[in-house]
Structure 1
Amino acid sequence: MFSEELWLENEKKCAVARKPKQGRKRQELLAVALGVKVGITGFLWPPLKLFACPQISSLVRRAALTQSDTHFNYEKTHNFKVHTFRGPHWCEYCANFMWGLIAQGVRCSGLKSEGLYRVSGFTEHIEDVKMAFDRDGEKADISASIYPDINIIAGALKLYFRDLPIPVITYDTYSKFIEAAKIANADERLEAVHEVLMLLPPAHYETLRYLMIHLKKVTINEKDNFMNAENLGIVFGPTLMRSPEDSTLTTLHDMRYQKLIVQILIENEDVLF
């Protein structure tokens, strides 16, 4: 991650340290290694030029030490793992750009990962997981050594629920859940939700119960991942329940009730199931 001051300082030092011809040659080598083309004027895209300067490692170390002493003092703990991003990536904390050939940064993995289920993993990796299950079934390897980014696994799970021909909350019970969500009294609403849950087929009920137990664990780590029951309801509402009517207007109207139903299921998991 590079601040604007570090960028300008690096630009000046690179210009002094290298003659134009040497800089041009080094940039061409970088371009070949990265599979990109050098522009007509002979300059690489600015993030790639950082590798052409021999002083960059010391600059990065110095900037990291300085920033860690003055700006980044987080209370929460992380389980960081080295991660290689495909393509450009922006730091979620400081919004600065990260770039590298291999292992450009680190990500926090597990239930404490910030934005769990909200932050999207790379689509091609999610598709890889889907294909692995289609091909190998229960033998599919989704361990951290193969997919170190937890958002890939979370994305694959959401994709599975979205692709079900019949949603976990079935079409037959959809309208009943929506009506239950509209009840103003909290106790009566909870009782109505429980009654509709009993109408779900056994497989759907058990799947929903298992998922709610998991999502409740996610909310327990809300201090670290910033995902409470309401946020998870926004994510999983349209994923777990879909209107039998193919109407955009109906879908938009029901979104707040979909969110509320999932929120209620998570917050009252121990009572409803």
Structure 2
Amino acid sequence: MEDLRNIWKPELYHIQMEAPLPKRISCDNCTDRPEFYGKEYHGILGHKEATVLLENEPNGAFLIRKGNEYNDFYTLTWRFNDRIHHYKLYYDGTHYMKDKRYDTIYDLVADGLITCHMELKAQPILDMINAKANYTESPYVTLNRRKLNTLSRIQQTSNKSSPLFNDKIEVKPPVDNTTKKPTFDLTPTWEENPLLMKYSKSHSFKVHTFKGLNWCELCANFLWGFTAQGVKCEDCGFIAHSKCSERVPNHCTPDLKKIRGVFGIDLTTLLNAHSSTLPFVVRKCVNEIEARGMDSEGIYRVSGFADEIEALKMAFDKDGEAADLSQYSNINVVAGTLKLYLRLLPVPLVTYEVHPKLVQAIQIKTVSSQVSMLRECLDSLPPAHFNCLQYMVQHLHRVSQLAEVNKMSAHNLSTVFAPTLVATPPAITDLAFEIRALQALIEYCPQIYYGNN
């Protein structure tokens, strides 16, 4: 591993260490002090009086006041760069001025002083970071290349021996390659990295407070600040400045060992981690149902035993691809487990973004225009969602063709699956449009996916 001293550039850290420290200017005789402030609160105080109190104090000195009794905010006054500055200050359980929130006033002032100091003294470096940050040369790639190569070798080996890595979505009849939506992208995530991502997965960045010294894995510079110094991806752990995170490509690569089970995992995250084009839970359940449940009356409507569904769920989470479905003689248990998997997806197969388009499409009068609009809706889905929904709709179409036996028409199936497959805002309780849309997908499946007239 390369010497970290050559990767982590410490200029920003040294500049931060020169930032002024908070110094509270106390008021001992304030009678109307709010319970969320301490002696730094001076009551109703004008800016001229506050300036007098701070003019002979060092940079970093601060107090809190209220300009007048009618203000719905407080005022933070501090001395910085040998000048007095005033800021509107709010409290609603946490202290804040803009978007960042703090548990204590000290944290807010300390972080604010560092921010102002960095903007004053480090602007050339910050401009350089924005201009020169290069993902392919970043510490993330440099320090994790060996790990990612190992993961790639594991996946390549599995690709030869395990059906988990050979998932193919069966399409009958064949789709014209000139119009077929690509199922995956074979462009390497970065130069010379053999780990080929099937889907473009964006990072799940969240503001994070880091303990100890940390650096940005894009620009290799220190994460400056007192608290909430940057962001961290909840899926792969990528750390970056907030600004740098906006430039990181959609190459989130969760390590397999970080995936706990398969239920409740974001679909794209799971498929990236397993180098697969279809969740094995969906494929195995569908195969089992098509093998011995297509003529079962009320398939998908009749509930299986809850304890057996939970047992099969645990088997999938524990044994993965090796889970044995044949031991569950009641096919409704397999169907119930499939519905549970789809219901627990953090983002349903038909996403929140596509939902309003779907509702709009189903209100078109002519079938040909409706089919065309539905195709456009599906093309808006993320590839992982597009492929899995296609697989499910094709399966449900085959189930509906045996409705005389299993009593599950396209309408009955769409009534069962609409709440599970379509992301609807909580305020929507009437799913009439969603049911009609899913019914149309099932009924017009050959025209939508195969282009048949």
TM-score (norm 1): 0.56
Equivalent residue letter for 1:126 = I
What's 1:246 paired with? 426
Equivalent residue letter for 2:302 = V
| Structure 1, unpaired ranges of 5+ | 1-108
Equivalent residue letter for 2:344 = D
DSSP-derived class of the 1:251 partner? coil
Write the deviation string for residues 126-160 of structure 1: whole angstroms up to 9, x where unpaired.
111111111111111111xx100110000000111
1:251, CA displacement in angstroms?
A: 2.7
Write the deviation string for residues 68-125 of structure 1: whole angstroms up to 9, x where unpaired.
xxxxxxxxxxxxxxxxxxxxxxxxxxxxxxxxxxxxxxxxx51000001010101111
1:217, CA displacement in angstroms?
A: 1.4
- Counterpart pick for 1:202 among 359, 367, 383: 383
Equivalent residue letter for 1:213 = Q
What's 1:23 paired with? none
Report 1:17-56 matches (<5 A): none
1:265, CA displacement in angstroms?
A: 1.0
1:257, CA displacement in angstroms?
A: 1.1
DSSP-derived class of the 1:148 partner? coil
Pair 1:122-2:302 in alignment? no
Report 1:124-273 matches (<5 A): 124-143=307-326, 146-243=327-424, 245-247=425-427, 250-252=428-430, 255-273=431-449
> Which of these two proteins has the greater Rg computed from alpha carbons?
2
Equivalent residue letter for 1:142 = L
1:220, CA displacement in angstroms?
A: 1.7
1:231, CA displacement in angstroms?
A: 0.6
| Structure 2, unpaired ranges of 5+ | 1-291
Query: Do the aligned partners of 2:298 and 2:408 also contact (CA within 8 Å) in 1?
Result: yes
Structure ranking higher in helix proportion: 1
1:261, CA displacement in angstroms?
A: 1.3
What's 1:17 paired with? none
Mapped partners of 2:447, 2:421: distance in 1: 20
Write the deviation string for residues 26-72 of structure 1: whole angstroms up to 9, x where unpaired.
xxxxxxxxxxxxxxxxxxxxxxxxxxxxxxxxxxxxxxxxxxxxxxx
Report 1:51-90 matches (<5 A): none
Structure 1's consecutive aligned runs of 4 or more residues displaced over 6 angstroms after TM superposition are none
Mapped partners of 1:240, 1:251: distance in 2: 15
Equivalent residue letter for 2:345 = L
DSSP-derived class of the 1:172 partner? coil
Mapped partners of 2:393, 2:416: distance in 1: 13
Flag the 1:271–1:186 CA change in 2: closer, same or farther, 3 A: closer
Query: Do the aligned partners of 2:351 and 2:422 also contact (CA within 8 Å) in 1?
Result: yes
Equivalent residue letter for 1:131 = M
TM-score (norm 2): 0.34
1:268, CA displacement in angstroms?
A: 1.5
Mapped partners of 1:147, 1:218: distance in 2: 20
Question: Percent identity between the aligned chains?
Answer: 43
**TM-align CA RMSD:** 1.1
Mapped partners of 2:413, 2:432: distance in 1: 12
Mapped partners of 1:216, 1:239: distance in 2: 17
1:187, CA displacement in angstroms?
A: 2.2
Equivalent residue letter for 2:426 = D
What's 1:106 paired with? none
1:246, CA displacement in angstroms?
A: 2.2
1:184, CA displacement in angstroms?
A: 2.5
What's 1:45 paired with? none
Pair 1:111-2:294 in alignment? yes
Mapped partners of 2:314, 2:358: distance in 1: 33
Mapped partners of 1:180, 1:188: distance in 2: 8
1:214, CA displacement in angstroms?
A: 1.0
Query: Do the aligned partners of 2:295 and 2:405 also contact (CA within 8 Å) in 1?
Result: yes
Mapped partners of 2:429, 2:315: distance in 1: 32
